[in-house]
Amino acid sequence: MKVVVLMGGRSAEREISLKTGQAVLKALQELGHEAIALDLEDSICEKLRQIKPDKVFIALHGPYGEDGRIQGLLDILGIPYVGSGVLGSALAMDKDTTKKILRFHNIPTPDWIAVRYGEKPVWDRFPAVVKPSDQGSSVGLFVVNNQEELEKALEELWKITKKAIVEEFIEGREITVGILKQQTLPPIEIKPKKGIYDYESKYTKGMSEYEFLEEEELAKELENLAIKAHNALELKDMSRVDFRVDKSGRPFVLEINTIPGMTELSLFPMACRKKGIDFKLMISMLIC
């Protein structure tokens, strides 16, 4: 099979995307496929027409890759691709819209408000989480303790987005659940050494510890909520659902990632391995 791996792109997550893309490319080549790496650049349409791939593996994180735009282009070109379509990608990329859909389906998520550039936030519950509505990999994530810190965080966010969310901070545990081809993967608890799972904690070796959840009842509840959220957003092939579980054991969905990272520190392939699915088998399942 001739497979193009789209990687890199124009988002703040470019470097992570290149790592994910190279890992996918290597696995495809070892599986015997004709795998071709492409960056997201102005000539992408012409190159795709010339190559005529059987399928595209989208390894683009963040804007352009996870928000439905590249999916729409591939639909127009008539090229099949791995992952969610235009609608699911766009819905999951916008955290504000995601949370509205979660609430509609009675899936617990922390209280929040959306703030657009130029608006004054009306929020008085601290501590609070402030983050872009349309970025991934915890890019631009802040935990604030008062109004002054909130306004400073938003000033920083306006450099990378026009829409942010201010969200209730759930004190407790951070747990993530992957979904591969409608199968839930074993939940992983994340223990960042600096207390908050931000960009540095995600991508710096040794900054976080990871443990598979041992509480069977909680694991089952999280898996059920994860697949419910995945389907509510009309996602396909794969996703990773991030949770906070408060001190009383109540889970809250924070967000859903439609193109999980696949670097050496990434949680999605780690969970696959726990289920007996090695990296190459995971890739085979995704491109079939």
Is 203 tagged catalytic? yes
Which of 72-75's residues contact partners 24+ apart within 8 Å by CB, and which partners? 73/44, 73/45, 74/48
Is 246 tagged catalytic? no
Q: Is 211 left (phi over 0), alpha (psi -120 to 50) or beta?
A: beta
Is 133 tagged catalytic? no
Is 240 tagged catalytic? yes
Of 62, 136, 140, 261, which one is the catalytic site residue?
Answer: 261
- The rounded distance, in Å, linking the Cα atoms of 169 and 128 is 5
Of 66, 94, 198, 242, which one is the catalytic site residue?
Answer: 242
Of 13, 94, 174, 189, which one is the catalytic site residue?
Answer: 13
Is 15 tagged catalytic? no
Of 198, 203, 208, 266, which one is the catalytic site residue?
Answer: 203
**Pairing between β-strand 2-7 and β-strand 55-58 as defined by DSSP bridges:** parallel
Structure tokens given for 280: 């190459």
Residue 254: partners with Cβ closer than 8 Å, 6 or more residues away: 109, 110, 167, 242, 243, 244
Of 11, 89, 133, 137, which one is the catalytic site residue?
Answer: 137
- The helix (H) or strand (E) run that includes residue 239 is strand 238-246
The number of helix segments (H) and strand segments (E) in the chain equals 10, 13
Phi, psi of 173 (to 5 degrees): -100, 150
Is 261 tagged catalytic? yes
Is 244 tagged catalytic? no
Closest CA to 161 of 141, 185, 186: 141
Of 11, 239, 257, 266, which one is the catalytic site residue?
Answer: 257
Is 62 tagged catalytic? no
Of 197, 240, 244, 266, which one is the catalytic site residue?
Answer: 240
- The residues pairing with 5 across neighbouring beta strands, listed in sequence order, are 37, 57
Whether 88 contacts 165, CB under 8 Å = no
Active site residues: 13, 137, 203, 240, 242, 255, 257, 261
